[in-house]
Amino acid sequence: MSEISAAHLMVQCLEAEGVERIFAVPGEENLDLLEALRESSIQLVVTRHEQPAGFMAACHGRLTGQPGVCLSTLGPGATNLVTAAAYAELGAMPMVMITGQKPIKSSKQGHFQIVDVVDLMRPVTRYTRQVVSGETIPARVREAFRQAEEERPGATHLEVPEDILREDVDASPMTPSRARRPVAEDKAIAQAVAAIEQARRPLLMVGAGANRKVTARMLRQFVDRFGIPFFTTQMGKGVVDEAHGCWVGNAALSDGDFVHRAIDEADLIINVGHDVVEKPPFFMREGKRKVIHINFSGAEVDAVYFPQLEVVGDIGNAIWQLNERITPQPHWDFDFAHRVRAALDQDLAGFTERDGFPVHPRRLVHDVRQAMPDDGIVALDNGLYKVWFARNYRARRPNTVLLDNALATMGAGLPVAMGARLVHPERKILAVCGDGGFMMNSQELETAVRLKMDLVVLVLRDDAYGMIRWKQQDMNLPDFGLSFGNPDFVQYAESYGAAGHRVETTDALAPVLADCLARPGVHLIDCPVDYSDSQRQLFKDIPERSRALNP
């Protein structure tokens, strides 16, 4: 074996892990690695800021199951990745971050730009290491990828100093190991079967951890075979088709919606793939009902979540075993759940013809759903509209509504849509962003244009941090400190080489969406939105109508 540079070895290790692209804002400490990447099979996607590079990498991991990779320099470049690290770690998205560092053996720059990035990353990753020898690169890379993609997936980090990359090494990549996840214990499966068969009104809850191909297929068989009603958490949307007759809603709120009437009357909830990182879909109460926790790992007990029975192991296999062993019971009673579904259908149809302007969020969600094909992907930033999309947008397939209900950071919508575009170039992709979140990473429009993406960005303009303004109103506080100005979004998009569009009537939204989705290139749509009655709708009208449903 002939010696090669540690930088080239690093790239070979990434290729051995199946890495196809790296999202990056390189610095001088990465130049040797950059040169090695130039000669490799890996696509370098240069972004305008490190945070969106991390969001794109996390999205790649979320959609493929293989860790996305992002690269930054030391100091400020590395600190800009921290939010993306937390986004991936809390959201269970496999991601590997590589950051540069000054030489560690000899440096004449003092502490210039030096931050202890390894310790900085420790609270938001499951693995963070500084590479101190070129010979250890294969093991470090393999371990970073192994831990990133292990259930529950998340973020890992490697810091590679400049002088280490320049070492000559006699080493080669390690072959990735392939391990099968352990299956649940037979006694736990038997207890779950007995609990489900004994229940009178069982209810299935589908969370983010169920978003795996095999698990989704097994869950669809489960629902079809037994007719047990189901609902989804925000991040579980689309795992099972929400047009299915057994769907009773999405827990966009923690209480007070139609779906919570079905939850209130259930005597057993079969929780598949949810954990307490995601905002509670409902509040558990002692003695109210039994909950079965089915997940890759044991339940993290919290005041709002304390399951009585746990089935720990591969989720897909666990559901398959339940499918094989459960016998449908004549005493199961799903009549009330079906009435909840009928009432929800009637509610979701409301306001869809409303033509007042600015656009009402219900009308907005309806028009987007009509415009998007079943396999089209909607990437949501964070704001009040996310609640309306989670609640009202019926996802037909897994991973077609990309939202974050764990870290719930602003600024991710556009980068996530761009990451989805690179993974699925054949699909229609729509980013939905509030004006506040969009402007946090709007510079990535240039990246999208440069990469010749076909992408539509719907910017919902209310000239304020609308979600917090809504909370302020809920607390009966004066309207203060949450308004801002915006650029002319049409001209702003055009300055980057994208096409800009402005919605000036509610009836114009649907045709503009259809036109932009049908045309190539990057399109930005400036759409004024009216959240003024969201408080009344979500916390008065809907709870009143749902409470009127009696078992």
The token duo for 332 is 């199961």
The per-residue pLDDT for 110 is 59
Residues whose CB is less than 8 angstroms from the CB of residue 123 and which lie 6 or more positions away in sequence, other chains included: none
pLDDT band at 258 (very low <50, low <70, confident <90, very high): very high
pLDDT at 111 over 90: no
d(CA 206, CA 401): 14
pLDDT at 113 over 80: no
- As a whole number of Å, the end-to-end CA separation of the chain is 74
108-112, 200-204, 466-470 — which is least confidently predicted?
Answer: 108-112
DSSP string, 455-491: EEEEEEE-SB-HHHHHHHHHTT----S-B-----HHH
pLDDT at 278 over 90: no
pLDDT tens per residue, range 439-466: 999 999 999 999 999 999 999 999 999 8
pLDDT at 1 over 60: no
pLDDT band at 390 (very low <50, low <70, confident <90, very high): very high
The per-residue pLDDT for 458 is 98
Mean pLDDT over all residues of the chain? 95
pLDDT at 313 over 80: yes
3-state secondary structure of 25: strand
pLDDT at 401 over 80: yes
CA dist 172 to 8, 12, 55, 273, 521, Å? 10, 8, 30, 38, 42
Amino acid at 395: A
d(CA 320, CA 222): 8
Q: What is the pTM assigned to this prediction?
A: 0.96
pLDDT band at 200 (very low <50, low <70, confident <90, very high): very high
The single residue listed with the structure tokens 């809603």 is 249
Cβ atoms within 10 A of the Cβ of 223, count?
Answer: 20
Residues whose CB is less than 8 angstroms from the CB of residue 116 and which lie 6 or more positions away in sequence, other chains included: none
* Among candidate residues 30, 21, 82, the one with its CA nearest the CA of residue 55: 82
pLDDT band at 221 (very low <50, low <70, confident <90, very high): very high
Q: Long-range contacts of range 110-117, CB-CB < 8 Å, 24 or more positions apart?
A: 113/74, 113/75, 113/76, 114/74, 114/75, 115/74, 115/75, 115/78, 115/79, 117/74, 117/75, 117/78, 117/79, 117/157, 117/159
Cβ atoms within 10 A of the Cβ of 357, count?
Answer: 17
